Amino acid sequence: MDNKGFTDISADMETPNNISNAEKPLLTKEEQPNRRVDINVLKSKLQESENKEFKKNIIVLSFLVLSLGALGVYLSL
């Protein structure tokens, strides 16, 4: 009788030999920029993106209300 479980799977898998690339970080400490980020700049960028999204939502909402009103007028006639 054959055993069809996980015990038949052989463990002959090998790890790759090019580990030197995996050990290196993407940016070393000398290459990392030491810039400070101004919180007001981040807040203004966030406010701009929220304003764009808010305007888009207002346009969609007004279109839906207008179309619902037009449908109501059409059905009442």
Average pLDDT over every residue of 48-57: 97
Q: Which tokens in the block code for residue 60? A: 């969609």
Could you give phi then psi for residue 32, rounded to 5 degrees? -70, 130
E strand residue ranges, the chain: none
Q: What is the pTM of this model?
A: 0.49
Give, in order, the Cα–Cα distances in Å from 55 to each of 33, 64, 65, 67. Answer: 36, 14, 15, 18
Amino acid at 41: V
Confidence check: pLDDT of 56 > 90: yes
pLDDT band at 60 (very low <50, low <70, confident <90, very high): very high
